[in-house]
Amino acid sequence: MKVIIAAVLGLLLLMNGAGMVQAEKATIDVPFDSVGTSCWYDQIKIEYHCTWQGVVEIFTLEDLQEFKDILSKKTYDQEIEKLNKKALEEISQEKAKLTEYEKIIIEIERKLDKGIADASDATLRNLLNELETCQQGMDQRTIHIQTSREFEISGFKNLITNNVKIEGLLGKIAMSIQECKAQKEVFKKSVGYENFLTGKDDIQYSLSQKYTENIQSIPFDKFKQTTTNIDRSLICDSNQHNTQYKKDFGCLVLYDGKTAEEIHLENRKTFGDSGIIKYESPLLDKYNEFMKQYGNKHATDEDKKLQAEIAEPISNEWKENNYFYQNNLE
């Protein structure tokens, strides 16, 4: 930063009675490395002014105290203002580097210095000053059964001895401490998972990948769509379930290759809906025809004689061929 500082030298020129001019020599301490000097004489006020010009870094407070007597009040105040501004900028930069917890600690320490902090403030300060981390699901035992994460706890041991209310940030850290204690118990009890394979080492072998790698068990279109259809094949195609159970389950039951609905339509077409059972038989038709034409008539003597003549040769033939009957005659 280029700073131009003027050191004013007032030299009183005295004239003697003979009209001779006398000059006074003076040595001036300039508080910086000078790179140029200019002087001029004010004939009206009879003053001699000189200006030293230089390039310097900003003054330190010690520099200002040392050269306070030779600096003007305006220059001194300006340099003090620059120092204050720079100090505030440095404080702001350092504060920006602080974490939220560090800012809280500084604020609590400020309250402690003023004597307005309570027990909760002091306990929270102790918790934050001894922050640690606890891991979950990040070791060979718990990685198989827990989601990997890391959370903050505190190593402060006297939390339970302080009569403070567990709430806010203090309560959050207190709960995290209890969670970490529980995590240690999980670690102890999950020793059986320590040798489980995970990640790339956990390979699921499948014969379908080796022998039917180009065959999908589910059609791709059905794999993407949402449906309420149920695969009933295990019930409907099984012989271990009766017909009524299959029908109740929604299976398509066939009788001689026909569904129950198809059989019902055929019966309806054949027998109608009157409820009367109709049945056709050629033998029954001949019987009915016989009863109409002959069976219902009363036989006359001529009819009986005619039937006896027809039956006589039949009877004689039977007798001749029946040895049991011949033996009885003898």
- For 132-170, the DSSP string reads EEEEES-STTTTTTS--EEEEEE--S-TTTS-----HHH
pLDDT value for 10: 39
DSSP run (H or E) holding 245? helix 243-249
Residue 69 and residue 9 in one domain: yes
Residue 260 and residue 300 in one domain: no
Residue 5 has pLDDT above 60, yes or no: no
**Which residue among 94, 127, 153 closes a domain?**
94
40 lies in some domain: yes
87 lies in some domain: yes
Question: Positive or negative CA dihedral for 168, 173, 176, 181?
Answer: negative
Task: Give residue for tokens 């016989």.
Answer: 290
**Which residue among 162, 193, 224 closes a domain?**
193
Residue 124 and residue 188 in one domain: yes
pLDDT value for 23: 67
Residue 145 and residue 72 in one domain: no
Residue 189 and residue 113 in one domain: yes
DSSP run (H or E) holding 221? helix 220-224
199 lies in some domain: no
Residue 30 has pLDDT above 60, yes or no: yes
Contact (CB, 8 A) for 53 and 33:
no
pLDDT value for 93: 79
Q: Running DSSP on this structure, what letter comes out for residue 10? A: -
277 lies in some domain: no
276 lies in some domain: no
202 lies in some domain: no
Report the chain's mean pLDDT, rounded to a whole number.
79
Closest among 188, 195, 190 to 146, alpha carbons compared = 190
Could you tell me which residue, 2 or 55, shows the higher pLDDT?
A: 55
Q: How many Cα atoms sit within 13 Å of 224 on the Cβ side? A: 2
In this structure, the number of other CB atoms found within 10 A of the CB of residue 170 comes to 20
Looking at the chain, the whole-number percentage of residues with pLDDT higher than 70 is 81
Q: Provide the token pair at 274.
A: 């009157």
Q: How many Cα atoms sit within 13 Å of 24 on the Cβ side? A: 11
Residue 246 and residue 188 in one domain: no
Q: Range with the lowest mean pLDDT among 54-63, 123-132, 217-226?
A: 217-226
Residue 104 and residue 184 in one domain: yes
Q: Provide the token pair at 166.
A: 């567990």
pLDDT value for 6: 39
Condensed to tens digits (0 to 9), the pLDDT of residues 138-192 reads 888 888 888 999 999 999 988 877 788 889 999 999 999 999 999 999 999 888 8
Entry pTM: 0.39
Condensed to tens digits (0 to 9), the pLDDT of residues 41-83 reads 888 888 888 888 876 566 777 777 777 777 788 888 888 888 8
201 lies in some domain: no
- For residues 242-256, give the mean pLDDT: 83
Cβ-based burial of 3 (10 A; exposed 0-12, middle 13-18, buried ≥19): middle
Residue 109 and residue 175 in one domain: yes
203 lies in some domain: no
The CA distances from residue 190 to 146, 150, 196, 199, in Å, are 11, 18, 11, 18
Residue 292 and residue 265 in one domain: no
State the Cα–Cα distance between residues 154 and 179, nearest whole angstrom.
Answer: 12
Domain count, the chain: 4
**Dihedral, CA of residue 25, residue 31, residue 36 and residue 40, to nearest 10:** -40
CA 116 centroid distance within chain? 44
Residue 18 and residue 55 in one domain: yes
**Which residue among 137, 162, 193 closes a domain?**
193
Residue 231 and residue 303 in one domain: no
State the Cα–Cα distance between residues 108 and 115, nearest whole angstrom.
Answer: 10
Which residue range(s) make up the domain with 254?
209-271
Q: Provide the token pair at 269.
A: 């077409």
Q: Range with the lowest mean pLDDT among 181-195, 203-217, 246-260, 296-310?
A: 203-217
